[in-house]
Amino acid sequence: MTQMNRRSLILVGGASLGLAACGNGIGGSGAAAIDARVDEAHNFLLTRYPGAQALLSKAVGVLYMPLMTEAGFWFGGAFGRGALRVNNVTVDYYVAAEASIGPQIGVQQYSHALLFMTEKALADFRHADGWALGADVRYATPDGGGSIGADTTTTLAPVIAMVYGQSGLIVGASLAGIKYTRILP
């Protein structure tokens, strides 16, 4: 790879991450602001997708990322802040950062929640320095009927990721990784 290509890669990747950070509430990132956004995301999830209550009631902990902002043009990034709740009480705050590469273009915002269905999955998450989504995560996504899809495979998974409240448009196919890191708000 030539020097110019490396610089272009760093410049485009940095610009994508910078754009992803715009408008996601970084300025209002204190504990009270994060908790208020988490409350809104939780209420939206239950109002828009009432079937999610069944999964939420079985979870031993839920990490809410109320506003993820994603941007991409071949290289992409996403960023957001959220809170981990156990028994509906905030126990920790987290930042999520995602990087992606591949043919993609656009900007979008969305919410997501990670439901920890076992004590071990929650403990592994809380005791890790940084935690990345792995193969043991199942996705439950809203369908046209306004419910969160959850089949037997999903409900038996140790971690379930729900993505909801999307706005904007990003198209393409990419390889992505997301990392969650505990923060002090």
Q: What is the pLDDT of residues 126-172, one digit of tens each?
A: 988 776 654 445 444 454 433 344 443 344 578 888 888 878 777 66
Tell whether the model's pLDDT for residue 118 goes beyond 70.
yes
CA 125 to chain centre: 14
Helices (H) and strands (E) in the chain, counts: 5, 6
Whether residue 126 contacts residue 60, with contact meaning beta carbons closer than 8 Å, is answered with no
Q: Is the pTM of this model over 0.85?
A: no
Domain count for the chain: 1
Under the banding of pLDDT at 50, 70 and 90, the label for residue 173 is low
Query: What domain range includes position 127?
Result: 3-183
